Structure 1
Amino acid sequence: DSIVAISLVNHARREGLSISPREVFQLRTAEALARAEAGREVAAVDTDDIAFGAVAGTPILARISEAGDEITRFHQSVLVQTPLEFDEQCAREALSAVVERHDALRARLVRGKRWTLSVPHWDPSSAPDVLRVVEVEGRMDQLLSERLDGETEAALDRLDPDAGVMLQAVLFRAASGPGRLLLIGHHLVVDGVSWRIILEDLAQAGTALISGAEPALAPVGTSLRRWSALLEERAHTGSFDAELPFWKAVTSTPEQMLGSRPLDPAVDLAGQAETLTVALSPEFTRPLLSAVPAAFSGSVNDVLLTAFAVAASRWRAGRRAEAVPGPVLLDLEGHGREEDLVRTPGGPAVDLSRTVGWFTTVYPVAIDPGGADGDEALASALKAVKEQLRSIPGAG
Structure 2
Amino acid sequence: DSFFELGGDSISSMQLVSRARRAGLVVTPRQVFEEKTPERLAEVAELAGAQAETDDVGVGEVPWTPVMRAFGEKVAGPDFTQWMTLGVPAGLGLDVLTGGVAALLDTHDMLRARTVPGEPKLVVGEPGSVQAEAAVSRVDATAADSGSLDDIAGRAAREAARGLDPAAGTMLRAVWVDAGPHRTGRVVLIAHHLVVDGVSWRVLVPDLRAACEAVAAGRTPRLDPVGTSFRRWSELLTAQATDESRLAELPDWLTLLGEHRRPLAGRALDPHVDTSRTLRRRSWTVPPEQVETLVGRAPAAFHCGVHEVLLATLAGAVTHWRPDTASGLLLDIEGHGREPIDGTDLLRTVGWFTSAHPVRIEVTGTDLDDAMAGGRAAGTLVKAVKEQVRAVPGDGLGYGLLRHLNPRTAPVLRAAPAAEIGFNYLGRFAAAADAGPETAGPGAGAGGVGAWQLAGPTGAGGTDGSDTPAPHVLEGLAVVRDTPDGPELTVTLSRPRRLLTDTDVERIGGTWVRLLAGLAAHTDDPDAGGHTPSDFHLLDLEQDEVDQFQAIAAKLEGGLSR
- Normalising by structure 1, what TM-score? 0.88
Contact 1:49–1:226, Cα closer than 8 Å, also in 2 = yes
Q: Give the secondary structure class of the aligned counterpart of 2:86.
A: strand
> Residue 364 of structure 1 corresponds to which residue in structure 2?
358
> Residue 346 of structure 1 corresponds to which residue in structure 2?
none
Could you tell me which of 164, 167, 170 is aligned with 1:162? 167
Contact 1:336–1:361, Cα closer than 8 Å, also in 2 = yes
> Residue 47 of structure 1 corresponds to which residue in structure 2?
54
Q: CA deviation at 1:257?
A: 3.4
Q: CA deviation at 1:30?
A: 2.1
Matched letter for residue 91 of structure 1: L
> Residue 110 of structure 2 corresponds to which residue in structure 1?
104
Q: Distance in 2 between matches of 1:146 and 1:14?
A: 36
Correspondence 1:301 to 2:295: no
Q: Give the secondary structure class of the aligned counterpart of 2:244.
A: coil
Q: Give the secondary structure class of the aligned counterpart of 2:385.
A: helix
Q: CA deviation at 1:140?
A: 4.8
Give the aligned CA root-mean-square deviation in angstroms.
2.5
Q: CA deviation at 1:229?
A: 1.7
**More strand, by proportion:** 2
1:352-391 pair list within 5 angstroms? 352-374=346-368, 375=370, 376-391=376-391
Q: CA deviation at 1:78?
A: 0.8
1:222-233 pair list within 5 angstroms? 222-233=228-239
User: 1:228-282: CA deviations, max 9, x gaps?
Assistant: 1222223333341222222222333444433243332222223422322222234
Q: Distance in 1 between matches of 2:187 and 2:265?
A: 42
Q: Does 359-368 or 140-149 show the bigger shift?
A: 140-149
Q: Distance in 2 between matches of 1:93 and 1:190?
A: 20
Q: CA deviation at 1:85?
A: 4.0
Q: Distance in 1 between matches of 2:138 and 2:85?
A: 14
- In structure 1, the gaps of 5 or more residues are 318-322, 344-349
Q: Distance in 1 between matches of 2:125 and 2:360?
A: 41
Correspondence 1:77 to 2:78: no
- After superposition, the Cα gap between the structure-2 partners of 1:282 and 1:101, relative to the gap in structure 1 and judged at 3 Å, is closer
Q: Distance in 1 between matches of 2:130 and 2:299?
A: 53
Contact 2:59–2:124, Cα closer than 8 Å, also in 1 = yes
User: 1:318-364: CA deviations, max 9, x gaps?
Assistant: xxxxx35231112111111112x233xxxxxx211111111111222
> Residue 277 of structure 1 corresponds to which residue in structure 2?
283
Q: Does 271-280 or 201-210 show the bigger shift?
A: 271-280
> Residue 351 of structure 1 corresponds to which residue in structure 2?
345
- In structure 2, the gaps of 5 or more residues are 1-8, 371-375, 398-562
Q: Distance in 2 between matches of 1:55 and 1:70?
A: 14
> Residue 330 of structure 1 corresponds to which residue in structure 2?
331
User: 1:203-223: CA deviations, max 9, x gaps?
Assistant: 111111111111111111111
- After superposition, the Cα gap between the structure-2 partners of 1:125 and 1:51, relative to the gap in structure 1 and judged at 3 Å, is closer
- After superposition, the Cα gap between the structure-2 partners of 1:148 and 1:11, relative to the gap in structure 1 and judged at 3 Å, is closer
Q: Distance in 2 between matches of 1:77 and 1:35?
A: 39
Correspondence 1:61 to 2:68: yes
Q: Give the secondary structure class of the aligned counterpart of 2:228.
A: coil
Q: Distance in 2 between matches of 1:394 and 1:166?
A: 31
Q: CA deviation at 1:168?
A: 1.0
> Residue 320 of structure 1 corresponds to which residue in structure 2?
none
Matched letter for residue 219 of structure 2: A
- Report the number of matched residues: 381
> Residue 194 of structure 2 corresponds to which residue in structure 1?
188
- Normalising by structure 2, what TM-score? 0.63
Matched letter for residue 330 of structure 1: L
Q: Give the secondary structure class of the aligned counterpart of 1:185.
A: strand
Q: CA deviation at 1:108?
A: 0.7
Q: Distance in 2 between matches of 1:125 and 1:280?
A: 43
Q: CA deviation at 1:103?
A: 0.9
- After superposition, the Cα gap between the structure-2 partners of 1:15 and 1:286, relative to the gap in structure 1 and judged at 3 Å, is closer
Matched letter for residue 19 of structure 1: V
User: 1:368-389: CA deviations, max 9, x gaps?
Assistant: 1141235254433322211111
- After superposition, the Cα gap between the structure-2 partners of 1:92 and 1:42, relative to the gap in structure 1 and judged at 3 Å, is closer
> Residue 139 of structure 2 corresponds to which residue in structure 1?
134
Contact 2:294–2:309, Cα closer than 8 Å, also in 1 = yes
Matched letter for residue 32 of structure 1: R
Q: CA deviation at 1:201?
A: 0.9
Q: Distance in 2 between matches of 1:140 and 1:366?
A: 51
Contact 1:128–1:165, Cα closer than 8 Å, also in 2 = no
- After superposition, the Cα gap between the structure-2 partners of 1:378 and 1:175, relative to the gap in structure 1 and judged at 3 Å, is closer
Matched letter for residue 53 of structure 1: G
Contact 2:88–2:184, Cα closer than 8 Å, also in 1 = yes
Matched letter for residue 358 of structure 1: W
- After superposition, the Cα gap between the structure-2 partners of 1:157 and 1:290, relative to the gap in structure 1 and judged at 3 Å, is closer
Could you tell me which of 92, 98, 122 is aligned with 1:117? 122
Q: CA deviation at 1:35?
A: 2.5
Matched letter for residue 24 of structure 1: V
Contact 2:59–2:231, Cα closer than 8 Å, also in 1 = yes
> Residue 21 of structure 1 corresponds to which residue in structure 2?
29
Q: Distance in 1 between matches of 2:255 and 2:171?
A: 38
Matched letter for residue 93 of structure 2: D
Q: CA deviation at 1:128?
A: 7.0
Q: Distance in 2 between matches of 1:238 and 1:58?
A: 19
Matched letter for residue 360 of structure 1: T
- After superposition, the Cα gap between the structure-2 partners of 1:126 and 1:150, relative to the gap in structure 1 and judged at 3 Å, is closer
Sequence identity, in percent? 39
Contact 1:313–1:326, Cα closer than 8 Å, also in 2 = no
- After superposition, the Cα gap between the structure-2 partners of 1:229 and 1:146, relative to the gap in structure 1 and judged at 3 Å, is closer
Contact 1:55–1:228, Cα closer than 8 Å, also in 2 = yes
Matched letter for residue 13 of structure 1: R
Correspondence 1:198 to 2:204: yes
1:210-249 pair list within 5 angstroms? 210-249=216-255
Q: Give the secondary structure class of the aligned counterpart of 2:55.
A: coil
